[in-house]
Each structure stands twice: as structure tokens, then as C-alpha cells.
Amino acid sequence: MSKKASWVSRFSFYLLAVGSACGLGNIWRFPYVIGENGGGAFLLLYIFLAFTVGLSILVAELILGRSGEFSLLKITKLVSLQAKKPFYWFGRLSILINVVILAYYSVISGWVLHYLTQFIVGIVNENRIAYISSINMEALKNSGSLQFSLASVHLLICGFVVAKGVIERFEKIFAQALPILAVLFIVLIIRSFSLDSTSDVMRFLFYPDFSKLNLSSLGRALGHVFFTLSLGMGIMVTYGTYFKNDEHLPSVGFRVTTIDTIVSIMALLMVFPIAFLSDSNHYFTDPGILFESLPRLFVKIQYGEFFGFLFFLCLWLAAVNASIGLLETLIANFSDKFHKISRNQSTFMTITGVLLLMIFPAFSGTLFSKFKWFNQSFMENLDSLLINYLLPISGLGIIVIFFHLLNETERKEKFIDATGKNSQAMYRHWIWILKWFSPVLIGLAILLQFINLFR
């Protein structure tokens, strides 16, 4: 702990937690989930869940990390032994989700790489405007091998960063990219807001129409909360071990949730005005909404090709950062399990496993396009199973482990800070949400989604 703590300053602790939270989930996934679920009412539901269920579990994960300083897998084993119950299944589930999410996340990161290269070509192209206007997702949609190759490049680069131990250097680069991304974001939002569609967008996003919600909305919102805050996989447990002892973890959790939510809302304000301008709204509910709409926004900006390049570069760095967190956790668990294997060997084996798994999401639109269940493509089913069902179940596991590992006094001691700033009442709310509210909501969300599947 002390060695780890010495190399990262307080800012870096935040960068780790915020960096893992803010990624493709906020910028790519959130807009289409909002589009799919009808806007304002769903947004309200999402914010409510993020600051109740999400924040409470985030704080629980951070505190688990601080108290145990182990990985989630070790913690679940310990608790299983103590309680003589098979809680290690929660650890195994989290590893399974971790591998599949990394494979899936790499494919989307590959899409970002595709756009990055397209904008580089745009910069050197003679007729830049015409070129940027023509950038779309067709090439990706039609070629599974292109998706697979790009995703492999992404994963191998992440593997290189992890294996060569250059994570710290990468973190520095990433820290410099963040302000650039923030400025670009603001420029794009301002440009978006001068489009004719603004009033429609504001109504869509901020005027809740509750009739748009259906039986699966709760599960979709809850699943996205877990995904965007990187919960349910013990990643925040690992980051909890890095925070110094005098850091008040509930405040850390609150700040991370707030920043993550602001970034997500900014993504909506950037994407929807340009998406609304289109006369056909067919891609509103499409996972490609970010990728289809942004080039049309960059065309409207002077030096758009250059801004586009910078934007996708920063977005890709954010994706690398999130992927490294997932990969690190996997490798650490792999090394824990097989002591005789060196770290480089575990990295190699983990990457090979993920590469093989990546075949499924990468070829879902081509080779596997015939596999449709519940009116959804293979990729959509995978996304839904992972994020809307398995992640919340894994979150439930975290809650169970949390209550088994820490007794009342320990929980209080870790939650209430030295200055007494956080009252007893806050602590009671937190425990109530963890113990009653979250499990009931998670159960309800899964049940309602399940019913909706067969309606």
C-alpha cells in the first residue's frame, strides 16, 4: 500500500477512479440508451438511480478496497470460508463479466480507431469537406474482419501498456488529453446549440414524458448506472486500496458520480442537436448514433477535420484507460490463481482469451447476423445480458460481501469522517439503500425486464 501510495498523488487517485468511470459508456453508450428509451423521463430515472443505488455501491466498493486491500476475488474467497457459504461464485461471476465486457469494449474502441484514421485521411485529403461528409459506419457494418482487426490493435496496445509497466507514463499522457477533451466538448456543444433543432432537443431531454417508460426501462437505467460507474466488477475495490487513509471515501464517491453524470449529460447535448436535424430518425436508437452524427457536426466547424481527429484521439485514450483497468484486474486475478505463471505469461494468456472471445461481438453484424433472439441482434442481446442483467446481479454480490466482511462498528468508522461533517443520518440512509432499497430495485428490474421479453 505505502509503495503504491507514494507514486500517485491525490490527483492521480481521482484520475484513476474518474478515468475508469468516464469513457465510452458516457459518450458512446449513454446517448443511444437515452434515444432508445424516449428521453427526459428515462434521464430522470437514470440520475435518481445513479445517486442512490450507484453511489451507495460505489462507496461500498471503495470502502471494501480500503479495508481489505485485496482483489474482489480474494475477498469473496475469504468471506466464503468465514461464512461457509459459496460466495466465491460472485467472484467468479465478476471475472466472467470482466472478460466479456473487455472483449465487447475493445470492439467499440476499434470503431473509435476507425474514425480516428478516417479523420487523419480527412486532414490530408484535398477535398476535406466532401471527405468528412462521407465518413460513416458502412465499412464497419459490412466487415466483421475490419472490426476484429481494429479491436485487436486496440487490445494489443493495451496489453503492451500493461505488460511493459508503462501505465504511469500512459496516465500522464491521458491526464494531458483530458483538458483537451473538455475544451473540445464545450466547443462542440456550443456549435450544436446554434443548430435549428435545439428547442426540440431540450424538450426531448428535459421534459419528462413518463408514458415513454416501459417494463424494461428500470433495468436499462440500472444497468447503465453500473456500467458507467464501473461497478460490480471490483474495479473500484482495487482503486479503493490506492486512496490514502485520510481521504473521505463517501465524498470521493459523490464527486466521481457527479463528474460522471455531468460528462454523460454533456455527451447528450453534443450528440442530439445534430441527430435531430436529420430527417430520418432511424439511428436515434442505434448504437451508431455518436459515430453517425459527429462527422456531420465537424463538417460545420472550421478546421473540423483537425478537431475531429483530436476528439477521436482523446476518446480513444479514454477507452484505452478504461480497458487497462479491466485488463489489469483480469491479469491480477489470473496471477493470483496460478502462482507459478509469470506476469508476462498471464498477460499473454489473458489477451489470447479475450481475442478469441472478441470474434463474437466483432462478427455479430455479419457472420452471426442470423442469430436473432427477442427481435434483437446478437450484439444487442450480449449487451443486454451483460449490462442489464449480470452487472446488477454482480452488484448484489458486492452488497452481500460487504455486509459479511464488515461489522457495524467497522462500517461506521469507515463512513463517518473525522470532522463529523457527515452525520449519522447520512450513514443510516446509506445502509438503508444498500440493505433494502438496492436489492429490491435490482430484483424488480430483473423481473420486469424478464416479463417484458416474453410479452
Q: Kindly state whether residue 24 participates in binding ligand TRP, applying the rule CB under 6 A.
A: yes
Q: Kindly state whether residue 26 participates in binding ligand TRP, applying the rule CB under 6 A.
A: yes
**Which of left, alpha, beta for 106 (phi over 0: left; psi -120 to 50: alpha)?**
alpha
Residue 227 or 415: which CB sits closer to ligand TRP?
Answer: 227
CB 234, min distance to ligand TRP, A = 9
Residue showing the smallest CB distance to ligand TRP in the complex: 25
Q: Kindly state whether residue 386 participates in binding ligand TRP, applying the rule CB under 6 A.
A: no
Residue among 17, 18, 21, 50 that touches ligand TRP (CB under 6 A): 21
Using CA atoms, how far apart are residues 4 and 16, in angstroms rounded to an integer?
Answer: 13
- Amino acid identity for residue 289 in this structure: I
Q: What is the CB neighbour count within 10 angstroms for residue 249?
A: 20
CB 23, min distance to ligand TRP, A = 3
Residue among 227, 276, 378, 415 that touches ligand TRP (CB under 6 A): 227
Phi, psi of 23, rounded to the nearest 5 degrees: -170, -150
Q: Among all chains, which residue has been given the C-alpha cell 453511489?
A: 55
Residue among 57, 95, 233, 354 that touches ligand TRP (CB under 6 A): 233
For residues 69-128, which are near ligand TRP according to CB under 6 A?
101
Q: Kindly state whether residue 240 participates in binding ligand TRP, applying the rule CB under 6 A.
A: no
| Stretch of 124-132, 195-203, 228-236, 335-343 lying at the interface with ligand TRP (CB under 6 A) | 228-236
Residue 132 or 324: which CB sits closer to ligand TRP?
Answer: 324
- In sequence order, what DSSP letters do the residues of 162-200 get, joined into one string? HHTT-HHHHHHHHHHHHHHHHHHHHHHHHHHHTSTTHHH
Q: Kindly state whether residue 23 participates in binding ligand TRP, applying the rule CB under 6 A.
A: yes
Using CA atoms, how far apart are residues 66 and 73, in angstroms rounded to an integer?
Answer: 15
Taking CB under 6 A as the rule, which mask of x and - marks residues 303-342 in contact with ligand TRP?
Answer: -------------------x--xx----------------
Using CA atoms, how far apart are residues 23 and 306, in angstroms rounded to an integer?
Answer: 21
Half-sphere exposure of 347 (CA within 13 A, CB side): 16
Q: Kindly state whether residue 363 participates in binding ligand TRP, applying the rule CB under 6 A.
A: no
Residue 230 or 364: which CB sits closer to ligand TRP?
Answer: 230
Phi, psi of 378, rounded to the nearest 5 degrees: -55, -45
| Stretch of 9-17, 19-27, 49-57, 115-123 lying at the interface with ligand TRP (CB under 6 A) | 19-27
**Positive or negative CA dihedral for 58, 61, 66, 67?**
positive
Q: Among all chains, which residue has been given the C-alpha cell 491480477?
A: 332
Distance (Å) of CA 232 to CA 318, 341, 410: 20, 27, 22
Residue 128 or 154: which CB sits closer to ligand TRP?
Answer: 154
Query: Contact positions toward ligand TRP, by CB under 6 A?
Result: 20-21, 23-26, 101, 227-228, 230, 233, 235, 322, 325-326
